[in-house]
Amino acid sequence: MEEQFEPPPESVVVGGELDSQALTDLVQREYRRLPNRQREVFDLADLQGFPLTEIAEMLQLSPITARVHLHRARAAIRSRILESRPALVEDL
């Protein structure tokens, strides 16, 4: 399942070096590296906007398990981006 990420309408400079397209590209790359279940939950929650209770039902998970997968997906994406772009830490 290939996702299309839409950058924000305005170009935003992050940390003085990344615009919205560069940040979108980083998130896309790291999204594709996630384990399948984390990718599914991240997609449904953060890209499609489903509430965690519905996601849990759709994927036959407990709501707590769905929440854990989402947390791990977000944390993995965040940490990998910050590893590749440590200058971003200064603006967080």
Answer whether 60's CB lies under 8 Å from 85's CB: no
Please give the model's pTM, rounded to 2 decimal places: 0.73
Whether the predicted pLDDT of 34 surpasses 70? yes
Answer whether 87's CB lies under 8 Å from 41's CB: no
DSSP single-letter state for residue 57: H
What are 62-82's pLDDT values in tens digits?
A: 999 999 999 999 999 999 988
Whether the predicted pLDDT of 50 surpasses 70? yes
- The domain spans of the chain are 20-87
Instruction: Fold for 20-87, please state it.
Output: Arc Repressor Mutant, subunit A (1.10.10)
The confidence score (pLDDT) of residue 13 equals 45
* C-alpha 92: how far from chain center: 16
The confidence score (pLDDT) of residue 10 equals 39
Whether the predicted pLDDT of 3 surpasses 60? no
- Spatial neighbors of 80 by CB under 8 A, at least 6 apart, are 30, 33
